[in-house]
Amino acid sequence: MGKNVLIIGASGDIGIAIAKQLVKEEYKLLLHYNANRKMVDDLRKHVNESDILAVFQADLSEATAVKRFLAELVFPMDSIIFASGLAYSGVFQDTPEVTMDKMINLHVKSPWLIVKYLLPQMINQRSGDIIFITSIWGEQGASNEVIYSSVKGAQNSFVKALAKEAAPSGISVNAVSPGFIETKMNRHLHGAEKDALISEIPMNRAGRPDEVAHAVSFLLSNQSSYIQGEIINLTGGW
């Protein structure tokens, strides 16, 4: 296919799975990461050098880092995938204000700024894809994860609203909303706690990062050309 895809949060388990899937489909990738450079370097060892156009490091919870990151985006962009995420667990009234600011900046404001920067280019070419990896908690909400649920809910609302605005310009905007997926974010669950959670899932197992990647691949393909403003649940029926 040869289209350029920017993956925000490419060093996470889901981000890496998406990158691996899209390389197979001959997309050209631009990879963003914050702290886990090793995951990106390991990926580069297993793909052709020409498959990855650029790698960027930026803490997108920091305003100055976002501005620097945007200045580095010199390649034309066909698609953007937001796969970055930071969970926060704790009772809401004990949440520090600095944590609130960080979660809003990372999950809401920095995606706004990135899309605002790249959208004019997509409008000019009258094509493009914007995909968010959100969360089941963005719709259902979760106790002890009120902040995370709130920012993921904001992403869902952004997708639905922007989709209406961007559709006349030929730009698709959608999201994949995973349930319980086997990732680093969920590795704090052990033994009985994990078993109890999985027992609530009708498919009786956790999802895999590659299953999220397949959904993203579908949304980037021509087969999904009439899907717009949708939050596709990937939850095993949970």
Which residues are designated catalytic? Answer: 148
Rounded Cα gap, residues 93 and 61, in angstroms: 22
Residue 195's Cβ-count burial label (10 Å; 0-12, 13-18, 19+) is: exposed
- List the structure tokens of 235: 């939850």
Q: How many residues does the chain have?
A: 238
- List the structure tokens of 100: 């609130």
